[in-house]
Amino acid sequence: MSSQEYRHIVRIAGKDIPGTKKIIIGISQVRGIGYNFAKSILDILKINSNSNVGFLTESQVEEIEKAMKNPSLVNIPSWFLNRRKDIDSGKDLHLITSDIEFNVRNDIEREKNMNSWRGFRHTYGLKVRGQRTRTTGRKGGAVGVRKGGKVLPAGVPAEGAAATGQPAAPAAVAGQPAAPAAAPAKGGPTAPTKDTKSPATKPSTEKKTK
Cα(19)–Cα(1) distance, rounded to whole angstroms? 14
Please return the burial class of 138, using the count of CB atoms within 10 Å of its CB with bins 0-12, 13-18 and 19+. Answer: exposed
CATH number for the 3-75 domain, one of 3.40.630.20, 1.10.760.10, 1.10.8.50, 1.20.1070.10? 1.10.8.50
CA–CA–CA angle 145, 149, 154 (5° rounding): 145
- Write down the pTM of the prediction: 0.58
Cα(34)–Cα(48) distance, rounded to whole angstroms? 17
Residue 74 — left, alpha, or beta (φ > 0 → left; ψ -120 to 50 → alpha)? alpha
| Domain ranges, ordered by start, for the chain | 3-75
Q: In 3-state terms, what secondary structure has residue 205?
A: coil
pLDDT digit string (tens) for the chain, length 210 residues = 444 588 899 999 988 999 999 999 999 999 999 999 999 999 999 999 889 999 999 999 999 999 999 898 888 999 999 999 998 888 899 999 999 999 999 999 999 999 999 999 999 999 999 999 988 888 776 666 666 666 677 777 766 555 555 555 555 555 565 555 555 555 555 555 555 555 555 555 556 554
